Chain A
Amino acid sequence: MTDLSNRKPETGAFFSRDRLWHPPGLTPGYKTSVLRSPQKALLSLDGTVSEITGPVFGHSILGELDNDLIHNFAKSGESAIGERIIVHGRVLDERARPVAGALLEFWQANAGGRYRHKKESYLAPLDPNFGGCGRTITDADGYYAFRTIKPGPYPWPNGVNDWRPAHIHFSVFGHGFAQRLITQMYFEGDPMIWKCPIVQTIPDKAAIEQLVAALDWGNTIPMDARAYKFDIVLRGRRSTLFENRMEGN
């Protein structure tokens, strides 16, 4: 179906952000937030041209292996160790319209739960063939896909015995700077999701469940890789029909 409205320039301001749905800044169960969370009220600002505009990333920035974490750091002929998976889905806005041309960047630990980072101290080994980063851009239907290995869970210094559930970090650009979002994807059926202090920063169970990717048997490739479906929703944009804009704006 052709969505003609998508062809008009988008100039509406964004739906206000539901800050009771997102995690609050101060979440003492996640200790690092205590000294890093603003304590004063935010200044509310309905979108000006500075917030409703945003950068555009063309497909030309992408390399052939950018959406293949199994191979994009591996030596020629080798591949990363771990459970081979495909992560795919759509980027939509709150009006359920596809967000085309959205840049997605993702990063994750290796199959043993170890990040390739100099400050990482977990004793699990590095995989010489796994870097842990990838990126892609959604197509006209808001669709994206990438190939990777399922990351392992890992312990982290917060409580004495806190572990992160397996997860993939996502950074998302929509069409306006006010849509900028970072979130994490979890895996269906992982009991550790419900023990994690970072997951628990989100007050609403439904909001957490929206971050859990479903095992997608239909798109699983026999003898190759299981698929997980993960849709991402960015802020919606008001219709511009009745926006009160003065000359020159």
Chain B
Amino acid sequence: MVQPLGYLKESASQTAGPYVHIGLTPNFSGIDGVYESDLGAIMVTDKTLGRRITITGRVLDGTGTPLKDALLEIWQADAAGLYNSPSELRGSADPNFSGWGRSATDGVTGEYRFETIKPGRVPFKDGRLMAPHISVWIVARGINLGLNTRLYFGDEEAANAEDPVLARIEHRVRVPTLVAMADGDTYRFDIHLQGDKETVFFDI
């Protein structure tokens, strides 16, 4: 006999289902008047520090068909590389930037869209700097447990080349699946759930 650890088990995930937008973006889904606005819809105000960027793209299934019922959330550091979180011990983040956003994919085109700022670099566990990146979480009908990935920036070649997380991807041909293509201040980031271009998803 040994002492019991007394741990609980994490509640098992269940799919967000086809109507996730009722719960998480009700105004977007046409349910007006319950909440003033949808959480995470606006990330940036006039006071937010940093370079304004747009991130857009689609989530594609194994046939290349875009998901029209998906929901994405992003989590990122501010322009100085600080997270607006009590667990951030390195300093105080920009009070005018929460770092969190939420976007439904469009019911016709399947496009999602975030208006945000370019994040600064944050350190890996050993102190080396990671390349600027944004954490991405994807849920939808047919996805049993939310998918985690990262968005890196196509115009950060030098930083990406020394990023300790990207460096751990054994199959180098897959690294570009995490890199958003830059077109001025707009970054395009398509997420492929399956196939030759399947995005690298993380067990975090």
Contact = CB atoms under 8 A, between A and B. Distances in A.
Contacts of B17: 169, 184, 198
A55 B85 contact: yes
Contact of B19 (A33, A57, A120, A199): A120
A22 B125 contact: no
A213 B141 CA distance: 23
Contacts of A182: 13-16, 20, 139, 146
Contacts of B92: none
B60 to A, nearest CB: 10
Interface in A33-56: 33-40, 42-56
Interface string B138-149: 011111111110
Interface string A237-249: 0000000111111
Contacts of B143: 25, 33, 36-37
Interface stretch (A142-150, A200-208, A215-223): A200-208
Given A43-B201, A132-B22, A54 B12 contact: no
A23 interface: yes
Interface string B1-32: 00000111111111111111111101001110
B168 interface: yes
Interface residues of A, number: 97
B97 to A, nearest CB: 11
A18 B9 contact: yes
A21 B8 CA distance: 12
Contacts of B11: 181, 183, 210-211, 232-234
B194 A37 contact: yes
Contacts of A66: 34-35
B30 A48 contact: no
Nearest to B137: A180
B135 interface: yes
A50 B75 contact: yes
B203 A44 contact: yes
Interface stretch (B47-55, B126-134, B153-161, B181-189): B126-134
Contact of A56 (B26, B86, B141, B144): B86
Given A21-B9, A22-B12, A177-B137, A132 B31 contact: yes
B34 A133 contact: yes
Nearest to A65: B34
B90 A249 contact: yes
A75 to B, nearest CB: 11
Contacts of B99: 55
A117 B18 CA distance: 9
Contacts of B139: 182
A27 interface: yes
Contacts of B24: 105, 107, 171
Given A48-B165, A201-B15, 7 more contacts: A21-B12, A36-B141, A51-B204, A133-B22, A207-B9, A233-B9, A248-B123
Interface of A: 9-11, 14, 16-19, 21-25, 27, 30, 32-40, 42-57, 61, 63, 65-66, 72-73, 92-96, 105-107, 115-120, 131-135, 169, 171, 175-178, 180-184, 198-199, 201-202, 204, 206-208, 210-211, 232-236, 244-249
6 contacts: A14-B204, A27-B144, A96-B8, A107-B19, A132-B22, A207-B9
